[in-house]
Amino acid sequence: MAPGWLEKFIVRADASPDARRTSEKPTLNLQYHSVADHHRTLTVEGETTPLYEVTRQSALGAWGSKIHITAPRDGDKEVALIQYNTFSYQIKFPARSGHRIDMSYGKRTFKASGNGLGALTWKGTGMEVAGAASWELRDERELVMVVSVDATQADGSVTLWKEKLDAQTVEELVVVGVSQIEEYKRMLRNSKKSAVGAVVNAQAV
């Protein structure tokens, strides 16, 4: 179960007939910032302490394909572990009795838990070659979340638009948003390595 401290950052819609429409105000807007090559933060605007910290795990002397997400406001408790593989990646939630999300690189759909969200699908909305990128996460009826990074992939945002979600579901969606950004950055790193390797091989011929 997600901690209670997250609740105060979730903007709830007024239940009256005059309630704001989802498109007018986000439920939660987190600023993504790369502190270092292996360390990122997710912070609510106006706050100083991050809601989440993201760390790439070192593997054999190089930054590898495991991503740890922790909550500084909850004693640095590990919220999720993202493991990237060749054709897919998994998101594991240690505190949720083995709950996990399996995501294929080719099929950008997964089944979300909580509040009857059901199947959610990623759609690219603003892609530059090795530059800025943005994506929308949607269900069959409406926008759920928007994720973006700038041209340097150092700064971005994870913005939740779906209303009436419990804190646990919000946390799950935020982690999924982080995984999308980190997958994109991983793809760019691998592309650069492949390009360098091709140049080296060509010079050796």
Q: Tell me if 90 is assigned to some domain.
A: yes
Q: Tell me if 16 is assigned to some domain.
A: no
* Domain range for 63: 24-204
Q: Tell me if 47 is assigned to some domain.
A: yes
Amino acid at 155: D
Q: Tell me if 13 is assigned to some domain.
A: no
Q: Where are the beta strands (DSSP E) in 45-182?
A: 52-59, 62-71, 77-84, 88-93, 99-104, 109-112, 118-124, 133-138, 143-149, 155-160
The CA distance from 149 to 87, in Å, is 23
Q: Tell me if 9 is assigned to some domain.
A: no
Q: Tell me if 3 is assigned to some domain.
A: no
Q: Tell me if 99 is assigned to some domain.
A: yes
User: Per the confidence metrics, is the pTM higher than 0.75?
Assistant: yes
- Residue-wise pLDDT tens for the chain (205 aa)? 566 666 766 665 543 333 334 447 899 999 999 998 889 999 998 899 999 999 988 665 545 589 999 999 999 999 999 998 888 899 999 988 889 999 988 778 998 887 778 899 999 998 888 799 999 999 988 999 999 999 999 999 999 999 889 999 999 999 999 999 999 998 898 887 655 444 434 444 4
Query: What total number of domains does the chain contain?
Result: 1
CB 20 within 8 A of CB 14: yes
Q: Tell me if 137 is assigned to some domain.
A: yes
